[in-house]
Amino acid sequence: MTHKRRPTRNTQKTDPMHHDPVKLVHSGQNGPVSAKAVAAMVDSPDVLRVVTLLQGISTEIDNGIEPSTANPHLNMLLHLLHSHFEGRVVSPSAMVSASGVPYATGTRKLSELMDAGFIEQRPRTKSGKSVSLHPSAHLFEVFSQVADRIDRIAQDAYGGARRTDGARDYYFGGSYQPGQTMIAPPRALPQSLKLAGGLRILVHGDPTFMVMENLKRQFEQIVGTDIHQRAFSIDRLREEALRNATRSRSRYDLIAVDLPWLGEFVKKGVIRPLPDVMDVARLEPSDFHTAGWRATHWDEVPYGVPSQTTPELMFYRKDWFAEAGLEPPHTIERVIEAARHFNNPRRGRYGVAWNAARGTALGHTFMMTCAAFGQPIIDLPEIAGGYDADHLEREDFRPMLDSPRAREAAEYLMELMQFSPPDILSMSWYERVRPYAAGSVAMAYGYTLLAPYFELDKSCAAHGNTGYLPHPHGPEGAPIAPVGGYALCIPANLAEERIPDAVEALIAFTSPAAQKLYAQEGSRTAPRYSVGADPEVRRLSPIFELVDQMSWRDELQFWPRPPVPQISDIITVCGNELHDMLRGLVSPADALASAQAKAEAILRTPVT
C-alpha cells in the first residue's frame, strides 16, 4: 500500500473526571495545516466560544432589527464550524437552509464559499452523489484570526480586566517563539473509513481511554464510521488480547498494549510490525517522547504507536511541606523523613500511599522501586543515562531480584508500611490516589493519568496543592520517571482488507490534535512534545511541561519495566512473593530468594 508522506512538523521540543470539552480532533491524514495557519492560532481564544457568540449576535440582529438583510456566507460558515465541533454531519442542503436566504441564492452563496477554499467535501456513498461538508484548513486559518480579534474587542468592551503579561506578549511576538505554537484544528478524513461493522478497538479501562469513549461522537465524525470500544482491567486486557490472537480473524482493528507486554506480543505473533503496513514517517516519530517511542520497538522495529505516555511520579502536598518547612521528597531518605513527620493515624492522616496490592500492582511497584535504587530487575547492560532496554532479543538474561540494591528496595517498602494507610495491602492503581486526593495522605506514587482525580475536582484537598517529582532515588540511584502507558497496535490476524483503514484510524487517534483533545477533555497523558508545548495544554496542568522537562533531562525511562517476553510472569511472581513479605510471613531475604529462583525458571522457559 502507498501513502502520501506528510512533511515533518517543527517539534521544538457529577464526575470529577469529566468537564466540558473543547471539541477539537485532528485526523493527521490530510496533509499539514500551513505554518501560517498554525501561527495564526497562537494564543487564540476558544474558537467554539466565538462561533457561539457570533451566532447569538447574528440571530438577535436578524430578529430584532427590521428591516435587516441576512449574511448567508457568515451564517453558513458558523453553522459548519459549530456542527463540526459538535460532531454533526453537515449536508449541502443543511448548509443552504442555514444561510437564511432563498434556496437558489443560498446554493449560489455556498458555491462561492467552496470556490474560496473554505469548505471540503467528503463522499458519503460509493457513487459520490451524496457528500458531507467539512471546514478546510484555510477556513480555520482565517476564522482563527477573526476569532482572536473579536475576542479582544469583546474583552476591551466588556471584560474590564487588565491584560496579563502573556496577553501583552501577543503584540510583541512573544507568543510566536519556537515551541509555543498551538496545534492546528481538526479536519475530517477525505474518505470515510470503509470498515464493515465499524471500527473496533480493545482498550484498558483507564481515564485516558475513557476520555476517548466520551469523545466517540467527534471521532466518528472525523473517521466517518461507527466506533466500538471495549475496555478491560489490565490483567483481563492482556488475556483478551492473547485470546484474540488465537482466532482466525481478529475481532478488533486496534488493540491497546501495555508497554511491558511488547516483547511477549511480538514473540507470540499477536501484533504486526508497523513498517509492514504503513509509512512510519507519517507518524512523525521525532515528535514522540523518546522513551515512549523506543518502548514500542522490538529489535529496532516499531510495533505500535504511543497512545499514552504516563510516567509514574511522586505526588506530594506542597502546602503541607511548606508549612512543615520540609524540602520536597527528592530522595528515599526525604520520603521516609516526611512520611514519619506527617503520619498521624489518630487524626486520620498518613504519610504515603502506593501500589501494595498482591500480584500485578505490587509487582510493578517493586520493579520501579528497584530502578530508583539503580537496579534493573534483569542484568541489562549499563549505558549512559541508565540501562539498555532496546536490545532484548537475547535469551540469556538473568534476574537481579536478590541483588543488594533489590534488597534495599524491598527494605524500603517494608519501612513505608509503617507510614501507610491501614488498607495499604489492598491498594492498587486507583486506591492509592483516592486518599491522597481526599487529603488524608501527604504523598502518593501515581501515574500522571490519575492526576485528574484531584486536578479536575475543586472539592479535593489536593486540588491546586500538588507538586510532582520523578521517583525519589536511593544512594546509588538517580531521578527517574518510569514510563507507563499503552501503545495502539494492529493485530497480526486482522483481515487484510481492513488493514488500510485501521492504519488511518491509528494515525488519527495518535495525532497531535487528538492528543490535545484528550488533554482538554481531562487526560494527563501526552506522548508528543508538540502537545506538551501547546500553550492551551500547558495552561491545563503543570504536568505537561514537567514531563517534557523530564524527557529532555533523560529522566523518562522504560528500562525499569523491560519488555522481555516473560515480564508478565515475573511481575506476578514479584507481586506475590513481596506481598507475603509485607504481611510479615517471610523475611525480605527469603522473599527475594524465592522470587529470584522462580524468575530464573521463567526466563529459561521459551516464549512461543
Enumerate residues 6+ apart whose C-beta is below 8 A from 115: none
Kindly state whether residues 218 and 349 are assigned to the same domain.
no
Kindly state whether residues 52 and 100 are assigned to the same domain.
yes
Average pLDDT for the chain: 86
List the domain range (segments joined by +) for residue 48: 44-163
Kindly state whether residues 245 and 279 are assigned to the same domain.
yes
Kindly state whether residues 96 and 232 are assigned to the same domain.
no
pLDDT (mean) for 224-228 = 93
Indicate the SS3 state at residue 313: strand
Q: Is residue 227 in some structural domain?
A: yes
Helix (H) or strand (E) holding 394: none
Q: Which of 214-218, 292-296, 370-374, 401-405 shows the lowest per-residue confidence on average (mean pLDDT)?
A: 214-218
Pairing outcome for strands 227-232 and 481-484: unpaired
Kindly state whether residues 225 and 146 are assigned to the same domain.
no
Kindly state whether residues 91 and 57 are assigned to the same domain.
yes
The span from the CA of 195 to the CA of 224, in Å, is 10
Pairing outcome for strands 199-204 and 227-232: parallel
What pLDDT does residue 344 have?
Answer: 97
Neighbours of 296 (CB within 10 A): 28
pLDDT band at 148 (very low <50, low <70, confident <90, very high): confident
Kindly state whether residues 140 and 237 are assigned to the same domain.
no
pLDDT (mean) for 98-114 = 91
Kindly state whether residues 118 and 142 are assigned to the same domain.
yes
Checking if the pLDDT of 45 tops 50, the result is no
pLDDT (mean) for 235-257 = 97
Indicate the SS3 state at residue 528: strand
Checking if the pLDDT of 179 tops 50, the result is no
Q: Which three cell numbers stand for residue 36?
A: 501560517
Q: Is residue 192 in some structural domain?
A: no
Indicate the SS3 state at residue 144: helix
Helix (H) or strand (E) holding 495: none
Highest mean pLDDT among 201-210, 222-231, 463-472: 463-472
pLDDT digits (tens, 9 = 90+) for 455-472: 999 999 999 999 999 999
Q: Is residue 608 in some structural domain?
A: no
Checking if the pLDDT of 11 tops 50, the result is no
DSSP category for residue 405 = H
What pLDDT does residue 200 have?
Answer: 97
The span from the CA of 467 to the CA of 325, in Å, is 15
What pLDDT does residue 159 have?
Answer: 58
pLDDT (mean) for 10-33 = 34
Checking if the pLDDT of 516 tops 80, the result is yes
pLDDT band at 156 (very low <50, low <70, confident <90, very high): confident
Kindly state whether residues 435 and 497 are assigned to the same domain.
no
Please indicate whether residue 312 or residue 90 has the higher confidence score (pLDDT): 312
pLDDT (mean) for 97-123 = 90
What domain count does the chain have?
A: 3
Q: Is residue 539 in some structural domain?
A: no
Checking if the pLDDT of 586 tops 80, the result is yes
Q: Is residue 177 in some structural domain?
A: no
Q: Phi/psi at 484 (nearest 5 deg)?
A: -115, -175
Instruction: Enumerate the β-bridge partners of residue 256.
Output: 488
Kindly state whether residues 438 and 505 are assigned to the same domain.
no
Q: Determine what percent of the chain is predicted with pLDDT higher than 70.
A: 88
Q: Which of 167-171, 470-474, 512-516, 560-564 shows the lowest per-residue confidence on average (mean pLDDT)?
A: 167-171
The span from the CA of 67 to the CA of 70, in Å, is 10
Q: Is 325 left (phi over 0), alpha (psi -120 to 50) or beta?
A: left
pLDDT (mean) for 421-428 = 96
Q: Which of 65-74, 156-165, 255-264, 389-398 shows the lowest per-residue confidence on average (mean pLDDT)?
A: 156-165
Please indicate whether residue 228 or residue 2 has the higher confidence score (pLDDT): 228
Checking if the pLDDT of 12 tops 50, the result is no
pLDDT (mean) for 221-234 = 92
The span from the CA of 144 to the CA of 159, in Å, is 20
Residue pair 33/42 in contact by the 8 Å Cβ criterion: no
Q: Is residue 31 in some structural domain?
A: no
Read off the CATH number of the domain in which 65 is found: 1.10.10.10
Q: Is residue 549 in some structural domain?
A: no
Nearest in space to 190 (alpha carbons), one of 29, 82, 33, 79 = 29
Residue reference for cell 454533526: 88
Distances (CA, A) of 98 to 95, 143, 144, 196, 357: 5, 18, 21, 33, 57
Checking if the pLDDT of 170 tops 60, the result is no
Query: Domain ends where: 473, 498, 523?
Result: 523
The span from the CA of 579 to the CA of 357, in Å, is 7
pLDDT band at 81 (very low <50, low <70, confident <90, very high): confident
What pLDDT does residue 259 have?
Answer: 96
pLDDT band at 214 (very low <50, low <70, confident <90, very high): confident
Nearest in space to 202 (alpha carbons), one of 158, 157, 238 = 238
Q: Is residue 534 in some structural domain?
A: no
The span from the CA of 339 to the CA of 442, in Å, is 7
Checking if the pLDDT of 297 tops 80, the result is yes
Q: Phi/psi at 504 (nearest 5 deg)?
A: -60, -40
pLDDT (mean) for 474-491 = 95
pLDDT band at 277 (very low <50, low <70, confident <90, very high): very high
Q: Which three cell numbers stand for residue 441?
A: 495522605
pLDDT band at 57 (very low <50, low <70, confident <90, very high): confident
What pLDDT does residue 62 have?
Answer: 76
Q: Which of 242-251, 310-319, 519-528 shows the lowest per-residue confidence on average (mean pLDDT)?
A: 519-528
Read off the CATH number of the domain in which 231 is found: 3.40.190.10
Checking if the pLDDT of 220 tops 60, the result is yes
Instruction: Enumerate the β-bridge partners of residue 133.
Output: 121
Pairing outcome for strands 556-557 and 481-484: parallel
Strand positions, DSSP E, 448-537: 466-469, 481-484, 486-489
Q: Which three cell numbers stand for residue 510?
A: 495518535
Enumerate residues 6+ apart whose C-beta is below 8 A from 160: none
Kindly state whether residues 471 and 334 are assigned to the same domain.
yes
Kindly state whether residues 297 and 380 are assigned to the same domain.
no
